[in-house]
Structure 1
């Protein structure tokens, strides 16, 4: 990031802050954060990430959390446009990756329509950090030939994902299902995925605060998903992993044989 000249279009940087652990930031993200004069910070950005900001940078919190008061998206977009046109070096700092359930696509479209340049800096998405923290992959030649990323938080007015169809696809194509923002819908997800054909003993992991010191998780089976979440008092932000890749977890065999035993 360099200061704008009179011949340059103002630029806004959409930067992925990763899952929370500042050590998982990319070098490019650290450089962008360090050179920003204005940072628009999402609620899920780890506090340690902001240690890389310069002392004089303005940090504006524009959090969005399900069930909580949220900053209107239109206000965030207008703020980015206004500050960039004033010559500020603007960084929109997002948890995870800007283009994976981070509204980065919407914001890039709005900024470009306003005549601004947009540069996107990728970040490690929470779903990947969640499985990695357990020591298992998204894909595995013996267990999963691909991965599906899906949100459990439907757009207002939308019916949301067709969970039964997703279940059938995951069975037929041997896919890992990674569900963001789905904890509040756990019972519905459980019922719909079972109705779609996923076996009751399909391994499921729920990881809260992935990559952070306060991370907690449980590994269970699909038919015990909702009960396990309630028993362990898990909540947002959390990622739900569904699929046989979890069978590779060293402690999963004993856990799964006991139908929903928690893993600390």
Structure 2
């Protein structure tokens, strides 16, 4: 821990976190090494870090010894902090003259409700800054050798939330008809209805599909199956959040790489 706190940032122009300011900071998909330099700079200056539930403890350990931590994470199906209360808490801390970092997994503006928080800050005349982070929907794929885009496979990629909501969520059949890969956040509890809706939109049952869990962390894992079988496979494997559901031909690229690696190894051993 002591060594992590002694990190020296390069001599580049990094901003100073002032008293009474709130910075929304993207902590990336999990691994501390995937923090940006600006995120590290912010964490090391903060008096108070208001953080999500899934922030790696090694990231929090980068804070200065006097920093205080307030956990406000949201976990599906469990008691969670109310979003309005979180936003108001940021205002209170700023008005108390604290240097505040609101530390969010991934990127603050990608399914992180960062927009709601900065609106509250702006409406209350609180100075703020938003520091981007790597979103798991892209970094998680790369960590498992799945390209977000690949010439000859796709011309776009769709990021979506798996929360169905009271009205059933997105028009999944319409998304299926685009023929482009889908990366679906927060879909562990809704895999079955989502995959059924995608099949209703015309996606073939054998479409390559994967679930990536705890991307870039020591607990990271991937489960590869087909659109028709992924829901049962996930239930059998007791897949837990956080996880991404990835649907489309880009998932099959892993097989191509594996086959190439096997061929090269065989030739090397011959």
What is the TM-score with the length of structure 2 in the denominator?
0.87
- 2:200 is equivalent to residue 195 of structure 1: yes
CA distance, structure 2, for counterparts of residue 71 and residue 251 of structure 1: 44
Q: 1:261 corresponds to which residue?
A: none
CA apart distance, 1:110: 1.0
Contact 2:206 / 2:226 at 8 angstroms: preserved in 1?
A: yes
Q: Stretches of 4+ moved more than 6 A in 1? A: 251-254
Size of the alignment, in residue pairs?
244
CA apart distance, 1:161: 0.9
CA apart distance, 1:3: 3.1
Structure 1 3/130 Cα, relative in aligned 2: closer, same or farther at 3 Å? Answer: closer
Equivalent position to 1:240, from 220, 239, 245: 245
Q: 1:138 corresponds to which residue?
A: 148
CA apart distance, 1:11: 2.1
Structure 1 43/123 Cα, relative in aligned 2: closer, same or farther at 3 Å? Answer: same
SS of equivalent to 2:121 = helix
CA distance, structure 2, for counterparts of residue 146 and residue 94 of structure 1: 26
CA apart distance, 1:158: 4.2
Structure 2: give runs of 5+ residues left out of the alignment.
Answer: 1-15, 260-270
CA distance, structure 2, for counterparts of residue 189 and residue 213 of structure 1: 28
Equivalent position to 1:176, from 171, 178, 181: 181
CA distance, structure 1, for counterparts of residue 25 and residue 116 of structure 2: 14
- 2:107 is equivalent to residue 102 of structure 1: no
Equivalent position to 1:32, from 42, 63, 73: 42
Q: Alignment RMSD, CA only? A: 1.5
Equivalent position to 2:176, from 167, 172, 187: 167
CA apart distance, 1:159: 3.2
CA distance, structure 2, for counterparts of residue 56 and residue 129 of structure 1: 32
Contact 2:164 / 2:190 at 8 angstroms: preserved in 1?
A: no
SS of equivalent to 1:219 = strand
Written as runs of structure 1 = structure 2, the 5 A alignment for 1:14-163 is 14-154=24-164, 157-163=166-172
CA distance, structure 1, for counterparts of residue 44 and residue 167 of structure 2: 39
Q: 1:3 corresponds to which residue?
A: 18
Q: 2:255 corresponds to which residue?
A: 250
Deviations for 1:142-168, whole angstroms, at most 9, x for unmatched residues?
11111110001145x443111111111
CA distance, structure 1, for counterparts of residue 139 and residue 167 of structure 2: 28
What is the TM-score with the length of structure 1 in the denominator?
0.89
CA distance, structure 2, for counterparts of residue 15 and residue 253 of structure 1: 36
CA distance, structure 2, for counterparts of residue 237 and residue 2 of structure 1: 30
SS of equivalent to 1:250 = helix
Which is further off, 96-105 or 223-232?
A: 223-232
Q: 2:3 corresponds to which residue?
A: none
CA apart distance, 1:217: 1.3
SS of equivalent to 2:130 = strand
CA apart distance, 1:26: 0.4
SS of equivalent to 1:115 = coil
Contact 1:41 / 1:59 at 8 angstroms: preserved in 2?
A: yes
Structure 1 195/2 Cα, relative in aligned 2: closer, same or farther at 3 Å? Answer: closer
Contact 1:184 / 1:235 at 8 angstroms: preserved in 2?
A: no
Q: 1:185 corresponds to which residue?
A: 190
